[in-house]
Structure 1
Amino acid sequence: MKIERAAVIGAGVMGAGIAAHFANAGIPVVLLDIPAKEGDRSAIAKGAVAKMLKTDPAPFMHRGAAKLVTTGNLEDDLHLLADVDWIVEAIIENPAIKADLYKRIDPVRKAGSVVSSNTSTIPLAVLTEGQSDRFKSDFLITHFFNPPRYMRLLEIVGGPQTRADALAAVAGIGDRRLGKGVVHCKDTPGFIANRIGVLWIQAAVNAAIDLGLTVEEADAVGGRPMGIPKTGVFGLMDLVGLDLMPHIAKSMLATLPADDAYRGVMREHPVITKMIAEGYTGRKGKGGFYRINKAGGGKVKESVDLRTGAYAPSEKARLESVSSAGRDLRKLCEHPDKGGQFARRVLAQTLAYAASLVPQIADSIVAVDEGMRLGYAWKQGPFELIDRLGTAWFADLCKSEGIPVPALVETAAGRPFYRVEDGKLQHLTTAGVYDTVVRPDGVLLLSDVKRAAGKPVWKNASASLWDIGDGVLCVEFTSKMNAVDGDIMAAYGRAMKLIGDGKGDWKALVIHNEADNFSVGANLGLALFALNIGLWPQIEEMVEAGQRTYRALRYAPFPVVAAPSGMALGGGCEILLHSDHVQAHAETYVGLVEVGVGLIPAWGGCTEMLARHAKNPRAPRGPMPAVAKAFEIISTATVAKSAAEAKELLYFRSSDGVTMNRDRLLADAKAKALQLAENYTPPEKDSFVLPGPTARAALELAVEGFALQGKVTEHDKVVCAALADVLSGGPDADASKPVGEDAVLELERSAFMKLVHTNGTIDRIEHMLLTGKPLRN
């Protein structure tokens, strides 16, 4: 069956977010809620859309997506359901209210349409009780995680009567169009992620209070050292809302088996009960475990004392266990201080619980690990964490903590849950044998390529070249935060030599990595070192080498396809601008942000943005509009907050591709590279008609106007003047003669070198390296 139109019933935060994400995927969606008591009867749904257009982080990937949302109410507009293929119910977690809604929509919906509930706690058997056989065959659970745009997990639960083609259609749309990691779960309380996640949170809260840890200390241990987001547990509770936790606990206790371990872990803590009663429910309330105290006009971050409930200025955790263990999880757990005790207690309870639930909640450990990675943003799932500790060591940990050793851990008998055999990743089954981890069709992961290959085609300290098959070579960045340095430029050079004219063993190049961020830009640490000791010729050579390399890739005799995800900033953005094609993950955040460190884009970023805006068919004619638009974007360090926005800003071309599911990104990029390799012809060089000094004067006048409003600092004016000089074509340019791209590149280099000689720029670079934030000097 095909799913081309959707509907969401329930315009709360979750339902509205699901509707927005359907629109992000280009799927027209109807959003319905109860009628408003006064005025416009569809005001609730309309208000939800209006609110989302103002929300940050934005539920919509671009404002135009909101046009795909049709709003209405459940009394006047039920007829709209007759045209949709998938109806998502996202109303209050009350079985009786849901049942009444299902009986109302069943007669009016299209024959064969799918109905799903976004419930997180109610079993499917309860939801379908008393419904028609027709309804039961079309019904399933689709549990999105909040916020739906950003959280990748989609748990799907089918019932005994659910049609196989309905399950397949929803899973397919969830994967390819909505970009979700689809995990099939069994009809058990909390499914996978929340079943484990709720116990994990409760175990961590208990341990922190029992051991006398501060919230900072608990989050320092229970966050990054365990591969969990830096929010840890208490920061996460602030994010989702403390008041939500008692409701989840009540629902879980109502449906869990009598002998479930959660019942022994669940405890109410007076300090948290008091916080909720007084409105300290997290970020949506007056604050939570952390808050910003704005008394007296200041902004002081405070945290709550878990014993008394009183707030005091937040202090950074200083635990020997965290500082000495580094990334060694076992060493962290073995440390005798209270941080080590906390780690042992929380991991023993959480990981043992997860291991005890297979195959009850899912048929394989792979589904459980994926559920926690995608639903709670853990770097590794429970079984991957047990492997980090060692299965035999973990069994001993369980015994020392008085926890029964799970049967699956005993089945492992000291063997890892995952292993690599003949270059393939395998997982341990409940039968005690290993099966190969199978990827869905159309998924190509660089991690799998690397396992199979064993070693790269070539590598250095900051990059590797990998053979991804069919004559396509892949450049992978491996530097810290994928910052661009001379080694990455050398990797590009090596790739160009290997591919040659594209007629031999290699046909094309893909630039891709699986890090959280594609690249944060140039390595500022190396640049600052060179500045501090006055290595001016080396700095200029660095700029020239970057320009030479990027232009060589731009005009290479083979296609170059970039496949970014996450942040692609500064020099990381510039390589995208020089690629023949960008196949971007939908959540790619792109920008030329050099002005924040007192510089301008000097690896061809200015040149490429001029070219794109000059060729923009929607822009007014003449040389000034392109110059003004490029100046506006670069001078304000504008960052596109999605691949769709990147197209609007011309960081990406209209012909560039967008992949919703990150797991499919490399395969899509490779397919495009092979397509371009057939009869490939490099692009021609650009030339520009640039207005010269009159344009520079106009741009500087505009900057002065902003300075008078207090929006521009003194050094901003210096940087903007240098940028204006480059984009306007320099002092000798005028609109009567074309300017070649080599001349603009020379202007980039010259402006860059002038700026690195200024104290304001050096101060900005130092401040960025120390704080991670731009200096407004």
Structure 2
Amino acid sequence: MKKLCVIGAGTMGAGIAAQAANAGVPVLLLDIVRDPADRNAVAAGAIERLKKAEPAAFMSKAAAKLVEAGNIEDDLGRVAECDWVIEAIVEKIELKHALYEKLEAVRKPGTAISSNTSTIPLDRLIEGRSEAFARDFLITHFFNPPRYMRLLEIVAGPKSDPELVARVSDFADRAMGKSVVRAKDTPGFLANRVGTYWLQAAINAAFDLGVSVEDADAIGGKPMGVPKTGIFGLVDLVGIDLMPYLKASLTSTLPADDPYQAIAHDHPLILKMIADGYTGRKGKGGFYRINKEAGKVKEAINLSTGDYAKAKKPVSIPSAAQKDLRALISAPGVVGAYAWAVLGPTLAYAAGLIGEASDDILAIDTAMKLGYNWKYGPFELIDRIGVADFVARLQAEGREVPAILTTANGRPFYRVEEGVRQYLGADGEYHAIVRPEGVLLLEDIKAASKPLLKSASAALWDIGDGVVALEFTGKMNALDGEVMKLIEKAIPLVAEQYKALVVYNEGSNFSAGANLGLAIFAINIAAWGEVEKLVAGGQKAYKALKYAPFPVVSAPFGMALGGGCEICLNADAVQAHAETYIGLVECGVGLIPGWGGCGELMVRAAESPKAPKGPMPPVAKAFETISTATVAKSAANAKEIGYLRPSDGITMNRDRLLADAKARALSMVEGYAPPAPPVFRLPGASGKTALELAVKGFRARGLATPYDEVVADKLATVLTGGDADVVDTVTEEQLLALELREFMTLVRDSRTQARVEHMLTTGKPLRN
């Protein structure tokens, strides 16, 4: 796929174009002509909005330059330049038919044509088109926002060319980072079919049982593995006005006996909210709103009266029910009643789709986890309840038991047999879960083996071909002394028996950095020796990795902050997931990087081909990045900032990250030699004065707080070499000693301690 065309520059079309550009592919974005004087205005305006979007649509400035604006009247013939044309116009069949007729006349044979529709069957879309057009046509249903939502549902028709479908799927997977799920040509496909039922059932239950929106979101959120938005918070996020649209689409296309038809009814309060402009976050508010007149107070709507009041603390959920789904649906009072009213019908509905909307449970579970960010898919949730218990409760209430549940006959839907993860098929047999070529998951390795080494916060795994993976296992993958001890034990083991090491895990984030909770405990009892031991131990462990006699590749994803960033900086190479948000954020909590981050960032700044010569430019660049706690918004942005080298790799698909990192490590084995320790030529006192002047300027403009100035002073001391003169050189060991000294000075300051406490309590930085 060397060039794509997206037709329709609305929210979805523009977002799809941006993600294709993030893959490094030129994109032609077309829309109608509204202004004869500026015929490309619609598409050009969409591109400008993409550049300003938050969260960002483009991963880098370079990607933004790959999208070209055009219009359907003048530029449709240019689809002949493209390998894949994605139609994302309004959901009106007559408009799509008219466009396809024009496309058929200008496209080159073999060009993939797909629709982003989620409501119109494929056979209706290709009515009147030639056999050749039908062979090259399919549905590619992206989820909004296309950059961040990993799910892509692909629907192929009986006439679709399997090779073309495979080509589109492979590009979407490897280049665009999508997890492709093959769906049948049924209404709503998979994720929206189950997701719309779930939301409708949850909203109905709240009205019927008199459950407040706050209680509904607390019960139907985290305890069920649903994002913290819960039910009503999610509807606010996607737009309340979308609900009637989805309902109308499904009720008009689903058979009359589908269970969704029985629950799909409007609530007068919700219709009134939409009419009054209360459509959620994009409107005046929704089920929740921020009352600015009352001082930015969060309010929630009363489902009985329609009145808003200050959002109340939700119902208390028993501790057992917060982690055990059986305990949740059996809890007394409103907690258990509401949990079952949501889960019982929803999971039964998903089970009833096997054979109709999907041939297996894997597709539905994947669709809900990636399309709605559920932690567990419907069948994984049934396993957590217990298949026999779930069926017994359905039967006790006189509900129909779906065929797949009868087939299971009390057996779990997933199991591990002889180290192989398996799922229960509709045929009643267990089948191995087969990963796509090039996908390697640590969860599969862990199911089939035991760790080589293990501590309370880390583990070491043999991932094959002489490569091991270092996994963080603490909360938020925070780093502590246990991680450092395991690193020290791992190095001689790997050096003796293996070829290379990859730093990787499959948590929600790579690492949130050092364990602040442990640090504040030590601070509160004035155990300064323990704090210093932790910092010095991290320096020793990270440098031991850097100079180990084998290649070390870090594979970050999600948040890689503080110490999580520093372990990447100390690796021989980085293979980062595209959605990596990496940064040295220590200044935000009143500290400075303590595990080698200062020196490593200066090394990268000095290596940059654009860097001016002399000792000051790398120091100034590192100072600006660290003092402002800059966090990259993507792996590509991390290269622009300097956290990653130009040679570091980027993997678009999260599931391919470990395999890519392993391959990168193996490619470095032959002839490997550890790097030579850097020697820094630093500007000394004169350089520090220049940095201090810059900080004073920020302080005068209100961009830095009084304590920011103090922290920046300590950072400047390290980066400029302490008391060194401009002609002096500083070794890596000397720079680490400076880091440790200034870190310990700051950690003893009550203002730093206040920042750490505030971050742990609120999750937000304290601006003292």
Which TM class, normalised by the smaller chain length? Answer: over 0.9
Decide whether the 8 Å contact of 1:320 with 1:337 is kept in 2. Answer: no
Decide whether the 8 Å contact of 2:695 with 2:712 is kept in 1. Answer: yes
The whole-number CA distance in structure 2 between the counterparts of 1:471 and 1:337 is: 55
Query: Aligned residue for 1:767?
Result: 758
Alpha-carbon shift at residue 526 of structure 1 (Å): 1.1
The whole-number CA distance in structure 2 between the counterparts of 1:397 and 1:122 is: 36
The whole-number CA distance in structure 2 between the counterparts of 1:36 and 1:678 is: 60
Decide whether the 8 Å contact of 1:583 with 1:669 is kept in 2. Answer: yes
Residue correspondence of structure 1 range 278-357 to structure 2 within 5 A: 278-295=276-293, 298-321=295-318, 323-357=319-353
The whole-number CA distance in structure 1 between the counterparts of 2:368 and 2:322 is: 22
Residue correspondence of structure 1 range 616-627 to structure 2 within 5 A: 616-627=608-619
1:205 to 188, 203, 206: 203
Query: Aligned residue for 2:378?
Result: 382
**1:618-639 CA distance string (max 9 Å, x none):** 0111111111110110000000
The whole-number CA distance in structure 2 between the counterparts of 1:477 and 1:450 is: 14
Decide whether the 8 Å contact of 2:5 with 2:29 is kept in 1. Answer: yes
Matched position secondary structure for 2:459: strand
- The answer to whether 1:417 aligns with 2:418 is no
**1:204-245 CA distance string (max 9 Å, x none):** 000011111111111111111111111111111111111111
Residue correspondence of structure 1 range 656-667 to structure 2 within 5 A: 656-667=648-659
Query: Aligned residue for 1:465?
Result: 460
Residue correspondence of structure 1 range 131-142 to structure 2 within 5 A: 131-142=129-140
Decide whether the 8 Å contact of 1:348 with 1:401 is kept in 2. Answer: no
Decide whether the 8 Å contact of 2:35 with 2:41 is kept in 1. Answer: no
Query: Aligned residue for 2:478?
Result: 483
Matched position secondary structure for 2:712: helix
Specify the code of the residue in structure 1 equivalent to 2:225: G
Alpha-carbon shift at residue 318 of structure 1 (Å): 2.3
Matched position secondary structure for 1:395: helix
Specify the code of the residue in structure 1 equivalent to 2:235: M
Decide whether the 8 Å contact of 1:689 with 1:734 is kept in 2. Answer: no
Decide whether the 8 Å contact of 2:686 with 2:726 is kept in 1. Answer: no
Residue correspondence of structure 1 range 731-746 to structure 2 within 5 A: 731=723, 733-746=724-737
Matched position secondary structure for 1:677: coil
Decide whether the 8 Å contact of 2:590 with 2:711 is kept in 1. Answer: yes
Query: Aligned residue for 1:582?
Result: 574
Specify the code of the residue in structure 2 equivalent to 1:497: P
Specify the code of the residue in structure 1 equivalent to 2:334: K
The whole-number CA distance in structure 1 between the counterparts of 2:371 and 2:392 is: 29
Residue correspondence of structure 1 range 384-533 to structure 2 within 5 A: 384-453=380-449, 455-500=450-495, 504-533=496-525
The whole-number CA distance in structure 2 between the counterparts of 1:615 and 1:664 is: 29
Query: Aligned residue for 1:159?
Result: 157
Specify the code of the residue in structure 1 equivalent to 2:89: I
**1:649-685 CA distance string (max 9 Å, x none):** 1111111111111111111111111111111111011
Query: Aligned residue for 1:85?
Result: 83
Moved over 6 A (4+): none
Query: Aligned residue for 2:553?
Result: 561
Residue correspondence of structure 1 range 38-57 to structure 2 within 5 A: 38-57=36-55
Residue correspondence of structure 1 range 682-761 to structure 2 within 5 A: 682-731=674-723, 733-761=724-752
Decide whether the 8 Å contact of 1:137 with 1:162 is kept in 2. Answer: yes
Decide whether the 8 Å contact of 1:585 with 1:665 is kept in 2. Answer: yes
The whole-number CA distance in structure 2 between the counterparts of 1:70 and 1:49 is: 8
Matched position secondary structure for 1:751: helix
Matched position secondary structure for 1:443: coil
The whole-number CA distance in structure 2 between the counterparts of 1:82 and 1:534 is: 71
Alpha-carbon shift at residue 95 of structure 1 (Å): 1.0
Residue correspondence of structure 1 range 206-225 to structure 2 within 5 A: 206-225=204-223
Alpha-carbon shift at residue 292 of structure 1 (Å): 1.3
The whole-number CA distance in structure 1 between the counterparts of 2:684 and 2:580 is: 34
The whole-number CA distance in structure 2 between the counterparts of 1:248 and 1:774 is: 40
User: Comparing 30-39 with 373-382, which one deviates more in the overlay?
Assistant: 30-39
Query: Aligned residue for 2:592?
Result: 600
Alpha-carbon shift at residue 324 of structure 1 (Å): 4.1
**1:164-205 CA distance string (max 9 Å, x none):** 111110110011111111000111000011111100000000
Decide whether the 8 Å contact of 1:587 with 1:642 is kept in 2. Answer: yes
**1:395-454 CA distance string (max 9 Å, x none):** 12222444211111011110001111111011111111111111111110000000111x
Decide whether the 8 Å contact of 1:178 with 1:661 is kept in 2. Answer: yes
Decide whether the 8 Å contact of 1:553 with 1:578 is kept in 2. Answer: yes
The whole-number CA distance in structure 2 between the counterparts of 1:705 and 1:401 is: 70
Decide whether the 8 Å contact of 1:473 with 1:495 is kept in 2. Answer: no
Taking structure 2 as the reference length, what is the TM-score of the superposition? 0.99
Matched position secondary structure for 2:65: helix
**1:92-124 CA distance string (max 9 Å, x none):** 111111111111111111211010000111110
* Structure 1: stretches of 5+ with no match in the other structure: none
Matched position secondary structure for 1:284: coil
The whole-number CA distance in structure 1 between the counterparts of 2:280 and 2:60 is: 28
Decide whether the 8 Å contact of 1:8 with 1:89 is kept in 2. Answer: yes
Residue correspondence of structure 1 range 225-244 to structure 2 within 5 A: 225-244=223-242
Matched position secondary structure for 1:466: strand
User: Comparing 67-76 with 738-747, which one deviates more in the overlay?
Assistant: 738-747
Cα-Cα RMSD: 1.0
The whole-number CA distance in structure 1 between the counterparts of 2:220 and 2:210 is: 15
1:150 to 148, 151, 156: 148
Query: Aligned residue for 2:258?
Result: 260
**1:14-43 CA distance string (max 9 Å, x none):** 000000000000111110000123531111
Alpha-carbon shift at residue 291 of structure 1 (Å): 1.3
2:125 to 118, 124, 127: 127
Taking structure 1 as the reference length, what is the TM-score of the superposition? 0.98
The whole-number CA distance in structure 1 between the counterparts of 2:330 and 2:529 is: 51
Decide whether the 8 Å contact of 1:219 with 1:231 is kept in 2. Answer: yes
Matched position secondary structure for 1:613: helix
Decide whether the 8 Å contact of 2:219 with 2:317 is kept in 1. Answer: no
Alpha-carbon shift at residue 304 of structure 1 (Å): 1.1
The whole-number CA distance in structure 2 between the counterparts of 1:414 and 1:120 is: 35
Matched position secondary structure for 2:129: coil
**1:369-399 CA distance string (max 9 Å, x none):** 1111111111111111100001111112222
